[in-house]
Amino acid sequence: MSLALNSKVLSPMSARSGLVVDAPSGRLSGRARHASRLVLAAGLAVPALAGPTTATPGAGVELQPHRIAYEVSLGPRSGGAGGGNAFSSAQGLIALEFTGNACDGFATNFRQAMTLADSDGMIRNLDFKVNLWEEGAGKRFRFTVHNQINGQTTRNADGEARRVQDGSVSVAMNRPKGKKGDFDGSISFPSAMMSNLVQAALKGERRFDARLFDGAEGGEKIFDTIATIGAKIEGEKNARLEPAMRGDKLDAIPRWPISIAYYDNTPGDRLPVYTMRSVTFANGVVSDLLFEFADFSLAAKAVRYEALPAEPCKK
């Protein structure tokens, strides 16, 4: 991520770096663990694959290199005991830079800094950093994830996932050293899934399913996702878009309301870990985000958007 983006967007949060634990145990609370899934969910808005799954980007879909910043706040009251929000306030920023192409691969650099206060008055300061690189052909995926709690590192993961001959994914970790994981079946990485989601929306499809590996849990697990694609947003319905997402560079780009439910990859009846609602553009840009957890929700509104020059394939 560029220094300009970090300094202009994130420096106001620098005094609140870290992610607070439930004292005195030093462990993340269940609520904070759920909030930590925002690392990739908010930054990448990673959608899913449908029907016959494919691990490579959708044909004819070009993802737009860009920088974008979101302001995070408490969402509408939802679920939970008493029907209220588990947190009384939320304030923060997300900054994302997405670059690359299908030949050289796609790089994503992400930073989130946020403060949450719960109904008991406990403050939780979140600081997440994620760096990803995904091969255009969908065969390799590198990731680093660094999370902190009050200046103490709670997750420091560095690994690489490789797709083997049968289509499954093998994960080798550089940090923690020697840790490995193998996931059977058709699993997709983030950029390929985004382009395939867009392709499904362009075809008029309304459902889009996938098994997702994004490295967000330190390479330890995958998620089953179910995406519901709404009718294309046109005319007065565009009023829901943030001012930063209006203008010549985006006005002509088709966009849809999309809801994605993320489930643990376990058998039996399940409830989603969380649901992400957004406006997704045909170039892969995402805005007007709402993350719904069992007992709280968070909104992320785009406050700055910058389209970066496309990088043509040199091969």
Q: What is the pLDDT of residues 141-190, one digit of tens each?
A: 999 988 876 777 878 889 999 988 887 889 999 988 877 788 876 788 98
Against a cut of 0.85, is the pTM above it? Answer: no
Type of residue found at 110: F
6: left (phi over 0), alpha (psi -120 to 50) or beta: alpha
Can you tell me whether residue 33 is helix, strand or coil? helix
Alpha-carbon distance of 88 to 202, in angstroms, equals 39
Q: What is the pLDDT of residues 283-293, one digit of tens each?
A: 999 999 999 88
Ranges under pLDDT 70 in the chain: 1-60, 77-85, 149, 185, 216, 218, 315
- Dihedral of CA atoms 3, 45, 263, 298 in degrees, nearest 10, equals 80
**Per-position b or e across 96-132, b if 16+ CB within 10 A of its CB:** bbbbbbbebbbbbbbbbbbbbbbeeebebbbbbbbbb
Q: What is the pLDDT of residue 83?
A: 54
Q: What is the pLDDT of residue 48?
A: 28
Q: What is the pLDDT of residue 44?
A: 34
Beta bridge partners of 74: 298
Q: Which tokens in the block code for residue 265?
A: 């990859």
Q: What is the pLDDT of residue 287?
A: 96
Alpha-carbon distance of 78 to 98, in angstroms, equals 31
Can you tell me whether residue 284 is helix, strand or coil? coil
